[in-house]
Amino acid sequence: MTLMRIFFMTILLVIFPFILLAQDPIVFDGVVENEEWKLASNYQITNEIQPGNNVPSPYATQVYVTYSKTHLYVGFDASIPLENLRSAIRNRDEAFNDDFVMIGIDTYGDGRSLISIGANAEGSQLDIKIGSDGNDDESYDLNFESKASKNPNGYHVELKIPFAELQFKNEKKNRWKLLFYRSTYADGNRSQNLDIKIDRNNPCFPCQASLEYVLEAIEPEKRFNLLPYIFAGRGGRLVGEFNDFDHQFFIQPLLKWNPTPFTIFYVGGNNNYKHYDEIAGYQIEAEQVYLKFQYLFQL
């Protein structure tokens, strides 16, 4: 057994006891059932902000929020006559012209930014980061799960958001600011709606998120990803350093573990195989194991 195999087996034995998946507090299937969400916090999106100016929304939208130790769960029950529903299966961040729902999250509650996460009626994902200066960063992406379903009265969306994807205070009790949004169509016109009445004299949109949501004893899910990378062929490639390959192939496994939102451990290795002849075939020529630690902090 090579040194690399022994090293990886040791790492897995150390990490494995911490890789525990929290049980979902709801059945995550894209169907918002009142019974399964009865213990969740319940909110409504009631204010049309465009084209109307803080007038009643054209359609009802119920929102449910709950959480486990490792995930935030959000359910939307969006009413609309199905003949008015605009939705299709889209690539990520391409459904902003559909009927869709989103939750805005300010994990620090200071109005500096709002992480908005949602999906359309097909479950196609959307996420965007909104700054206090009004600039939107549509390139912002995080890993989350979304499922959706349709019914005679409209559609449902369920979101499962890992805390490991968000940065928040390392405290036993967190107080986040939340905001809920829906884009829909009424009388052929796009209708934008919020759970709050917007103050058009306040240019800071994230600052207007007023709903405080308290989370206790949450922690990022301790998990790791095995990301294999394989390259084979002739020529040259820059992988950390330049190597001139000749009938060789290179294997670089990488193990990534996030014990907290701010801490990342990497364990990787390099295996270089060379083809000597038809009898000997490919044989390992070089082997390397490395460990990297990364800590994220704010200035």
| pTM of the shown model | 0.69
- Is 131 in the same domain as 159? yes
Domain boundary among 200, 216, 232: 216
- 173 and 37 share a domain? yes
State which of 216, 237, 269 marks the end of a domain: 216
Cβ-proximal residues to 183 (8 Å cutoff; 6+ apart), any chain: 96, 98, 99, 100, 190, 191, 192, 193
Q: Are residues 211 and 268 in the same domain?
A: no
Q: Which residue, among 88, 37, 41, has the nearest Cα to 195 in the 3D structure? A: 41
Supply the pLDDT for residue 135. Answer: 85
Q: Are 62 and 69 in contact (CB under 8 A)?
A: no
Taking 70 as the pLDDT cut, the residues of the chain under it are 1-23, 220-252, 258-262, 270-288, 290, 295-299
The answer to whether residues 115 and 258 belong to one domain is no
Examine the domain organization and report whether 10 and 33 are in the same domain: no
| Residues 228 and 212 placed together within one structural domain of the fold | no
Residue 236 has a pLDDT of 33
Q: pLDDT (tens digit, 9 = 90+) per residue, 35-67?
A: 999 999 999 999 999 999 999 999 999 999 999
In this structure, the answer to whether residues 113 and 207 fall within a common structural domain is yes
Q: 156 and 229: one domain?
A: no
For residues 173 and 264, membership in a common domain is answered with no
What is the CATH number for 202?
Answer: 2.60.40.1190
What range defines the domain where residue 264 resides? Answer: 3-16+222-295
How many domains are contained in the chain?
A: 2
Do residue 51 and residue 196 come from a single domain?
Answer: yes
Domain match, 33 and 76 both: yes
Quick: pLDDT tens for 156-211. 999 999 999 999 988 899 999 999 999 999 999 999 999 999 999 999 999 999 99
Residue that terminates a domain, selected from 185, 216, 247: 216
Partners of 194 in beta bridges: 47, 181
pLDDT score for 50 = 96
Domain identity same for 59 and 102: yes
